[in-house]
Chain A
């Protein structure tokens, strides 16, 4: 009995001591559950990774075959792919003349990847060819075709693609042009602007407020937010861009500085969005109504939205000087769940917390990809099931 007690004491002491070297439960409680998240370096570390300062993930999209494509921003932009069967990130090379690709990545039905560049405003095309057999390209340029500048003098801010008809839609910066690009014809058309002037502000505030993403509904219509937070619609049947009588939700008076950060099109046809003030909303394009679904986080911004196979939406909030948090929204119950900081703790192998997130996408198997956007960035895989 004495020995047993002694053994128990020693065991307990050791257990406490060992546990102390790992993270305490109180911090684990403020981050995403660790059995539901993992991270990937952007390449094969330590040498063959997209360099620090060039690795901020600012665009993610999933191809029809399930491959995830991503683009980075920084001193140079890079393109990368993740084949879910392999599970690692394969850098495809840097994009010539490009320092930013912001939600401006689209994949056609045939698998070609279209990239909207900044600051040049060129539309680039990357055609995947036996990627599995290619070496990692970190120091070499990505082989792309330059399709020209859809709107001269403007950077491309966001892209969306209608795979059925082979048309790419885009939004530009700084002057908020909306354009379309017909893939087959190789021609771009400037369809007008969604913001003519910057909102009233301090002298250093000169940015026109437009959405950071475009939404393509089930009928092929395209939506953006523009001046005073109003939604704009490109009616693909009529070929016309028009201002809608609905605004993204905002505290009264803050509409001029409101923009939609992220859109998500639900299979039901409803469009969900997250605003720069951190509100989630539901837009019914048939009834032309917007419902404010509230603010899941105390923080500004909803920088990514993705839909899981279980019907729940997952989103990320937080600004660039903040610490991003992941949340979910269940449309069935209208309930939010705050999942916490986007953090992966696999000590002693790797440990990293994402503070700034700018892109999310859902894989064909339901994995939610989360793109960190910092000097040193990683791709996070969140398992919603």
Chain B
């Protein structure tokens, strides 16, 4: 497979599509296409989703968590040096629960983190919840495991179950304090695992099940930030072991009954944030209208939030039906933010129709954004939706999400399921920004 940068190219205008859809917003950027490289996950066609779980380690190796509803999720690694994808293992097996025939470890649903010891830390999650009818039952999900993958040994260490009966819905790892943080589902508790002491701590409830903040941001001092209520920011200070509510709100759109949006897509929090170690601030996107903001935790007495714009498919700005934000924000080495929104409400098999992901680039130096167009594979197939992103030391931007499946020579054509009528499977998407 070719790993050379493909860059952007503009294809002939898709007039027919634009005419077909009428004055749909994406007609504004019709014709622009971003061609990306990709890798499928061999033997793991059944994996049907990925949310947040993508990390590029300091050595360039890429780790992803692949979800499977009703079965084992898997942790995989892609080594760009050898161009190989390795299945590190099924999560239920790694948790020692394969023979129990209970609710499986179906996901890594949160961000990985890399420790100063080089290990990759994470927490696991359930896939199916059955309207919580099985919570606390013997056949139900036993609870999330805290784990670490050691690249030196190729082994995963299981630290055991943290929150009982609940999964790590949201998570982040802090190398400074050597802790894995999480927000649990369904009870919305703020929890952490202190690796050095082996202590699992529950700081209590912070969100309701239908509005659990989807990303925890950690600054370079080890403070942890999240959202509650109507976009308000809280801070967990590991020195005081306390959660403090800050008088800061991110920009969010007035809540309403959105068009076709699932109930548990709450529209009240940030969807994702990334830490900028250069400027010492976060950049984030709200769930509802993909509003881009910065959050400087050190400005003033309590920090400062600034609205910077809106990262969405060109022509969709300020429209009510803008799709729910994705977890794909990444800060490039070129001081640009990369973000991949879908053209239609996207959540894998729960998507509202078939759209194509776009690549939006926001230049932090100029404060301008650009829709670079539809993300497509070299053979023209659509990237239907993406839900995680990270930046490699060499500047490569990686995403994981759903690609269209077609019979292609030498490629597994087995799909994970369908989005609309289109068969899809998961793939690692590789984008090489142009050198500055």
| A→B interface (CB under 8 Å) | 17-18, 20-24, 26-27, 29-30, 46, 52-53, 298-299, 318-319, 321-323, 341, 347-348, 351-353, 355, 374-376
Contact = CB atoms under 8 A, between A and B. Distances in A.
B320 to A, nearest CB: 11
B136 A21 contact: no
Interface string B98-141: 00000000000000000000000000000000011101110000
Interface stretch (B66-74, B77-85, B252-260): B252-260
Contact of B262 (A20, A53, A318): A20
A341 B208 CA distance: 13
A376 B189 CA distance: 10
Contacts of B334: none
17 contacts: A21-B258, A24-B263, A27-B131, A30-B132, A30-B133, A53-B204, A321-B164, A321-B165, A322-B136, A322-B165, A323-B135, A323-B187, A341-B132, A374-B204, A375-B203, A375-B206, A376-B206
A319 B208 contact: no
A321 B141 CA distance: 13
B186 A323 contact: yes
A355 to B, nearest CB: 5
A375 B204 contact: yes
Nearest to A74: B204
Contacts of A323: 132, 135-136, 186-187
Contacts of B204: 52-53, 374-376
Nearest 3 CB-CB pairs, A to B? A375-B204, A21-B257, A375-B205
B208 A352 contact: yes
Contact of A26 (B131, B245, B258): B131
A17 B203 contact: no
Contacts of A322: 135-136, 165
Contacts of B164: 321
Contact of A351 (B135, B205, B211, B245): B211
B60 interface: no
Contact of A22 (B205, B245, B263): B263
Contacts of B229: 46
Nearest to B210: A351
A299 B131 contact: no
A12 to B, nearest CB: 13
B136 A319 contact: yes
B261 interface: yes
A82 to B, nearest CB: 22
A355 B187 contact: yes
B209 interface: yes
Nearest to A350: B208
B89 to A, nearest CB: 28
Contacts of A17: 259-260
A47 to B, nearest CB: 10
**Central interface residue in A22, A23, A318, A322, by most chain B CB within 10 Å:** A322
Given A17-B259, A323-B132, A353 B209 contact: yes
B384 to A, nearest CB: 20
A353 B132 CA distance: 12
Nearest to B232: A46
Contacts of A319: 136
B208 A351 contact: yes
B245 to A, nearest CB: 8
A363 to B, nearest CB: 26
B257 A22 contact: yes
Nearest to A372: B205
A24 B135 CA distance: 19
B131 to A, nearest CB: 5
Contacts of A375: 189, 203-206
Interface string B158-193: 000000110000000000000000000011010000
A348 B132 contact: no
A355 B261 contact: no
Contacts of A353: 208-209
Contact of B263 (A21, A299, A341): A21
Contacts of A22: 257, 263
Contacts of B261: 20-21
B131 A30 contact: yes
A341 B129 CA distance: 14
Contacts of B243: 52-53
Nearest to B245: A52
